Amino acid sequence: MHLHADHSLFFERRQPLWVAASSLAVTVCVLILNAGARSTTVSLVGAGIGAVLLLVARARGRRRVEPALAWALALVVIVLLGGVALSRNAAVAVEAGARVLCGIVWILWVGTQVDWASLRQILFRLRVPESVVAALDHALLHGVLTQREWARRRDAARLRLGASRLPLASWGPLLGEGALQAFLRVEHVEENALLRSSSRAEVDEDQGVHLDAVDVERGGQLVLEQIQLRVRPGEWVLICGPSGAGKSSALRLLAGLDAPARSTMTRPGVPASPGATLRARLDGRVALLSQNPEHHFIASTVAEDIAWGLLRRGFDPVEARRRSFDLAKALRVDHLWERPCHELSFGEQRRVALAGLLVVEPALLLLDEPTAGLDPVAAHELRTLVEQSVRQNGAACVWATHDLHSLPPEAERIVLLRDGRMLFDGPTAEGLSRPWLLRAGLAVSQEEGSAC
pLDDT at 53 over 80: yes
Residue range 277-292: average pLDDT? Answer: 86
pLDDT tens string 181-218: 888 888 888 888 888 887 665 554 556 788 888 999 88
Q: What's the mean per-residue pLDDT of the chain?
A: 83
Tens digits of residue pLDDT in 408-452: 888 889 999 999 999 999 999 999 999 999 999 888 876 655 555
- Given a contact cutoff of 8 angstroms between Cβ atoms, the answer to whether 118 and 20 are in contact is yes
Residue 265's pLDDT band (cuts 50, 70, 90): confident
Q: Give the pLDDT confidence score for residue 263 in this predicted structure.
A: 81
The pLDDT confidence band at residue 5, using thresholds 50, 70 and 90, is very low
